[in-house]
Amino acid sequence: MEKTDLRIVYMGTPEFAVESLKCLVEGGYNVVGVITMPDKPVGRHGSVLQPSLVKEFAVSQGLKVLQPEKLKDEHFLEELRALHADLQIVVAFRMLPEVVWQMPRLGTFNLHASLLPQYRGAAPINWAVINGETETGITTFFLKHEIDTGEIIDQVRVPIADTDNVGMVYDRLMRLGGNLVLKTVDAILNNSVKTVPQEKLAEGTVLHPAPKIFKETCRIDWTKGVKAVYDFIRGLSPYPAAWTELCEPDALPVTLKIYETTKEFASHSLVPGTIVTDRKSYFKVATTDGYLHLLSLQLAGKKRMDVSDFLRGYRHTDAATVR
């Protein structure tokens, strides 16, 4: 079978999923349908509907788009069956019911942004950086009942530098993901796939999860060491951003998002969260074994700025802390 004969249904929603779809289209593969989330209401009254980035690209390419509210809806399932897909590809979508992932004759595979079985879950790139990993990667695997547990088709390993934030790693994995999707499709076409059970790779290792990140997840714990706080901040930068509360005596705390820091290991007797600054060029916060120099930050209601601009516009007392 030629790639133009293979009928592919693609499922995805955010920017990360656009790159792989773009590679399929530009590579001449036969994408017969794209499944994505319903348009999202935005604006003060939710009167404006915003399409997903995958939908925007699909529409620009003249591809058929389906946007089911529920993946078990019978009308949607009829539309999906009518596409007669040979293969389904899932990139950054949602959990599929068995009736959907078992539909195509060649199966359904997923692109996941980690070296499975490590970092199963919704936020694998964030957690890999937060945990100080020096390597991550991307994995294609066939879907089965338990989420992110199917047999592995292929992987690409990617180093994480100590200066990388999650945005940098995200962009790197997104670009490589498109190529891995094409390589996986070609292997399926050529009947050359040799899968590996995740259980085999998991033997003798501690598995790290990658659960969904919420606002409270992003709060900085200054009672940890310099390296842990540094990794935590870059693992959430630029989005959704780590935050803390800037506290002044006799004033309400103000939320402060922190995007970039540098490490200073040092012995001191300060309480974690204590601010040390010359009020002109540096603004650092004590942890248990040193300081984090804040380089890029954002006060609630203000724009993101570098530390020198922040210090010019903000006057705090010697009793100010973060918590």
Do the annotations mark residue 63 as ligand-binding? no
**Is 253 labelled as part of a ligand binding site?**
no
Which is nearest to 255 in space by CA: 298, 286, 288, 226?
298
45 touches 96 (CB < 8 A) = no
Pairwise CA distance, residues 140 & 143, whole Å = 10
- 238 labelled ligand-binding: no
Residues 6+ apart with CB under 8 A from 113: 16, 124, 125, 136, 138, 170, 173, 177
Task: State yes or no: 116 annotated in a binding site.
Answer: yes
Distances from the Cα of 232 to the Cα of 166, 202, 207, 212, 237, angstroms? 10, 25, 19, 15, 9
DSSP 37: P
Tokens of 210: 């990658």
The answer to whether residues 110 and 30 touch, using CB atoms and an 8 Å cutoff, is no
Task: Specify the 3-state DSSP secondary structure of 115.
Answer: coil
Contact 97, 72 (CB under 8 A): yes
| 64 φ/ψ angles, rounded to the nearest 5 degrees | -70, 130
Spatial separation of the C-alpha atoms in residues 203 and 125, rounded to whole Å: 22
**Annotated binding residues, as ranges?**
114-117
**Annotated binding residues for (6S)-5,6,7,8-tetrahydrofolate, as ranges?**
114-117
